[in-house]
Structure 1
Amino acid sequence: MGIGIDILKVSRIQALLEKSKYTESRFLEKCLHPKEINQYRLLKGSQNNIDQRAKWLGVRWSVKEAAFKALQPSYYIYMPFMEYKHNKKGMPLIHIHKDNLSIPPIYVSVSHDGEYIVSNALHFP
């Protein structure tokens, strides 16, 4: 069993988004699965403010960082191969999209309060 935890200050993501379009684009490629990049573009296009987008991205960064830690030392799966979603019962999960690997979904929990997001992940091999 693997356990991972992460804490993130949302203003770090916000500063990244405010820096430049190039920095934002590179960050998206580094931390989001292609399906999540499409979701983010829809979110951005719906006139949501930068605070909402930073929190949305922060949740994904934090749960994936916790999942990365939970998978070690057995696997080193990087963020673009992870997709944050909810199962049919609404439970948050990380699905791994990596050819030739069959890893069960990673259970995650995420909470946010003001400037901070905290995430936990459990991996049952």
Structure 2
Amino acid sequence: MNRKFKALYFLHTAGWGNNSLCGYYRIRYSDGSSVDYPLTGGKNIADWWMPKNLPEAPVGIRRIGADGHEIGFYVAKWQNPHPDKTIASIDFYAASRNDEGEVDYINLQSPVPALAAITGEF
């Protein structure tokens, strides 16, 4: 990235993501410091099935899937607490991992976040 941003906007969704920590974005600055943005189910991210506006993320994309169910992605705004710092990179972490350290897509009790796009406000 290597730019300064006042805010970042994340277009994302989750499987099984309504009521728990789904993961987080780690925003890394060029000075070596970082800030975590938690993805909290029902607040700034939620399940992709039957999307509804959330307290911190309206539905950004809403479509009817091939099976006839409504699906969607949410737009969450992260306000940069250090807009004077250059953002070097962003890491995306899922909350659930299996014993080998990989994301556990089999456990239906665990949220699986999906990030589609990031844009920013200068």
Say yes or no: TM over 0.5.
Answer: no
Q: Give the TM-score of the pair, scaled to structure 1.
A: 0.28
Greater share of helix:
1
Bigger radius of gyration among the two: 2
Greater share of strand:
2
Q: Give the TM-score of the pair, scaled to structure 2.
A: 0.28
